[in-house]
Structures are given as C-alpha cells and as structure tokens.
Structure 1
Amino acid sequence: MNRSGQGEDFLQAALVHADVVHALARRLAPHPQDAPDIVQETYLRGYAAWGRRRPDDVGAWLATICLNVGRDALRRHARHNTLLDDRPAPDLPSAVDTADAALERLGNDRIESALWTLPEVQRIAITLMDICGFTAAQVATITAAPRGTVLARVHRGRKTLALILTDERAEQRQPREVSDGP
C-alpha cells in the first residue's frame, strides 16, 4: 500500500479517537496551552508507527502513545526552571458567556484542580477510565499495570477527590468572622 493510502487508513482509524486523546492530553499537560502539542505529537508518533504494525484497539494504542508523550512533557517541564509565572492565563469572557456556563466552568475548574493534587498514577487511571471511557482492562494495557492495580488506583483516587471536593464545600459554607475593629 502506498503512503497516501496508508495515511487515509490512519486518519480514518485514528481521528475517531480525537476527543479521547485531547481529554487525556489536557490532564497530562503541565500547562493548558501544552495540550494541543501533546495531541499533535501523539498523532505524529502514531502515524509514524502505523505502517509497522496496525493495532487491534486503536483508541487504547493512541492513549498509550499520548500517555508517553505527556510523561515526556512533564519531565521536560520539571527540568525547565523558569522565572516566568507558571499560572495559566485566565480565559477572557466572551459575549456568549452565561451564568450557567460560568458556574459549570467553575465546577470543572475545581475538579480539574483537585485532580492535579492526586498522585500521577491515580490521576492517569481516573482520566483514562472516567473521562476517556476506557475499561479497566484497557487501562491496564495502556499503563502496563495489572487490572487490580488500576482498579485500586481509581478507587483511591476517587475517594481522595471526593474528600477534597467535600472539604472545599465545607470551607465555603463556614461563616466568616467579622471583627468590629481594634
């Protein structure tokens, strides 16, 4: 098969999984603006390998590549000492923002922030299962960990997330003391 036909086959099989790859990349990226680079590198590596061996489960195969690319990005980020502020730039409001969308984004931001407090293995297992929709067996293959270990990581991670989010809610409900002055 010529390279052009191979490219068409790859696109047809791989682009179906673009949402999964992007969701995983967002949770692996050291900065939100790095996620598209991780997605692009995932597809470049996948295309380069496509001619050597076609995977049975393209989604799991791409997730494995994305996981490796994301880990590479995290290692590069850890080595790179920068004097710049590492916080992501805030989203600029648009005319179509509504109160509901703002509240939903706030809730998602809290979950996203809480997810980043988990150990990497738990964050990856939860992302692959709960966000990307892979089964425990697929996650075991992707992460090269036994299925039972994957299930334990997801269970512990979910419990920790629940505690973090519950604690945040409790802190928000606490009445603040107001002083009447000195």
Structure 2
Amino acid sequence: MSPEEGLVTEASQRLINDICAKYAGRTQFLGCNDVLIAKRESEKLRDVLKAFAAEKGLDGAEKDAFLKSAFEHLHALSKAGEPLSLETLVNAIWPQAPEELSGKLAAEELELSDGFVPDGRVIRALVSFKGKSKYWELKFDREGKTEGYIDYDPETNIITLRNVPEEFREMWMTEV
C-alpha cells in the first residue's frame, strides 16, 4: 500500500506524535472532542448571557457593560487555557444578585457544563456584531454603537457609520 492509499509514513507519525504531545492535557487533538465540546458549551453560555441581559431589561450602556465584563472574564480564561468556573464567572459579572444568573446557568434544559475552556471565537460575539450581504461585510464592536460611531435606523433599514478613518475615506473617494 502506498502513502496515497492511506498509510501514515514514519515522518507523518512523528509529526502527529509531536502535535499530540504539544497539546496533551489541553485537548484530544486528533479527535477534537474537547474542542467541539468547548465550542458548544461556549455557544450555550453566550446565548444565555445575552438572553439574561435582555430578560433583566438592561439598556444600551448597561447591557454593553455586562456583556463586556463577561467577555473579558471568558477571554482571559480562553487565552490562558484555563477552565471556566461558573460560580466565579457569576460572582465576577453579576455580583449584585449572583443567584439570579446562577439559576439561569443551572437551568436543566440548558445542560451547561462547568470546567471547559471558553472558545474565543464564540465568545467574541458578546462584544461584537458581524453581518454581510451579497455586496458588503460589516463587523464592529458594541462600543462603537454605544459611543455613537454606528447607528441603525430600523424604519429605513440604514446603518450610518461616523468618524470613518481617513485612510478608508481617501480610498473611497479615490475609487468612487
């Protein structure tokens, strides 16, 4: 059987062993089980945090601060490769009534686990918006909305960008 038919060469096997050794304890690299679990758990956590903010009626700046606090806590864990403690998260981001958020996170139907390393790409959605159409793509941080740099008019379905960087403005003026 040739390598093209599925045999792993000795050099390939050494590379696989090196990669597995590098990631030992952090993830089952070849099976990716831990990575997939962390992604799913991060998605559930992201969604419940957004729902909690809405349920609590947090307005623009309050909601942004709550979600930013959650993102910063989770991002630090993600960068360090540290597992999440839901209790620590709750106390850090909703200290005024931790039992309220704990109750949401402990909901039986959610089945949210403790101890996974948050997926940085998934939790980014706590502080940013991203969208695209056939002709454009747009990504911005919540802070841009709060600071008045980005506005959306639901009646006209128009997004307005303010304080466009000079480089972009020059490119636009040259091209259009």
The verdict on a shared fold, with TM-score over 0.5 as the criterion, is no
Using the size of structure 2 for normalisation, the TM-score is 0.25
| Higher relative contact order structure (alpha carbons within 8 Å, sequence separation ≥ 6) | 1
Greater Rg by CA:
2
Q: Larger % of strand: which?
A: 2
Q: Larger % of helix: which?
A: 1
